[in-house]
Structure 1
Amino acid sequence: MTRPPRDGNSVKDLVRRHWNSRAETFDEEPQHGIHTGEQRDRWLTVLRNWTGDGRRRILDIGCGTGVISLLLAELGHDVVGVDFAPEMIDRARAKARQTGHSIGFHRGDAEVLGVLDDAVELITARHLVWTLPNPTVAIQEWQRVVEPGGRILLIEGYWNHSEPWDEYEQMHDDLPMYNGRPPDELREVLEQQGLSAVTYEPLTESILWGREPHHDYYIMSGKVTR
């Protein structure tokens, strides 16, 4: 018998539970944290190339322990991080204090942001869309928050896990983009939601992930044109 779909709040509760449980050790995994100076420098170069010159107002959604937020702050941007898992936010705040970066980290829902219209010039998100029950709703919400002419910048991938794990055993069928998406498919989704000038490039260098990448990673950007 087919199980009826879970409601969005039930799915989000499971998502929060999963990432809360992983917060303590999240940065220890080679593909998640920054472990060497060379890895840090390479990520800074990638982000600098895609964020452009000048100081920008950036909202980092699904910020986790603040890995990307801290790199963006190091590049001189004004950064705020949002995540649904409070344990992740606690870790991010502690890291910001240790490094001296002034970053506001807040608990929030990627699909319903408590942020004013046109509040930022750029939204970033790393490996987030696959965890969302309503990813197209989220992309529309992100466009509301980004000023016209601003951009949405996603670090994503396609991994096709053979078996779901932990809480994802219960909810993977309720996540439309579970396992990620190949870049051409995600680009089509962004374009269908109204973003223009969508471009991407692979992120296949082992230095970025602390090991030879096991999945197809890439970075993708689209312009908000409303």
Structure 2
Amino acid sequence: MSLALGGRQILKDVGLHVSRGEVLGLIGPNGAGKTSLFEVLSGRYVAQSGRVVLDGSDVTRQDIVRRSRRGLARTFQSPVVPSALTVGETFRAARMAYLPFRSRHEAEWAARLVNLTVPWSRPAGSLDTFDRRKLLLACLLMRRPKVLLMDEPASGLINTEIDELDLLLRTLVDEYHLAVIVIEHRLELLEALADRVTVLNLGEVIAEGTPQGVFADPAVRAAYFEGTG
């Protein structure tokens, strides 16, 4: 697919795929087009060319809500939660966001899955970074998505939290057969977790393959590792 914004070419003939039960890592220097690609996949941007296919169906012309109903979920770089709501109220808002409504039981299941152990009476805005990420992820998981797009989920986390995140994502992929695409700068997480890695630079795919092979590629090192100093 290709995407231009404000007369600037953001994505140039980018193609990728991910299967259920697989993790695809997406890396590249700042400005490479990673988040813009997520915007296209999630339905916030419309590409000038190319298609978005979800579970065998062409969703290119469908909006965010329709893609969500078909099983596409997304997290963002900043875990922004509704600070005026409690954890329980946040879950209720997510349960009632659109049909079919979800039960409190499903929200409780999702909270256990992500190991969110804070009281539901606690203000969501008082949670630390990792618990905010868990809350937002649980709100998505109770909808039982098929594909999960994650934009820098390890940002702001310490090493023990990254280890917990690693285990959680493995559970989602291995036991619930999600397809996961992860934008991440913590390459040690991707090396441990990803089945494949795709590298973007200036809106183009410059490498793809296993994490070990991609991270050792001279073109990748020149564009990403050495370029980020």
Please indicate, yes or no, whether the TM-score normalized by the shorter chain is above 0.5: no
TM-score, with normalisation over the residues of structure 2?
Answer: 0.32
Q: Which has the higher contact order (CA 8 A, sep 6+)?
A: 2
Structure showing greater radius of gyration is: 2
TM-score, with normalisation over the residues of structure 1?
Answer: 0.33
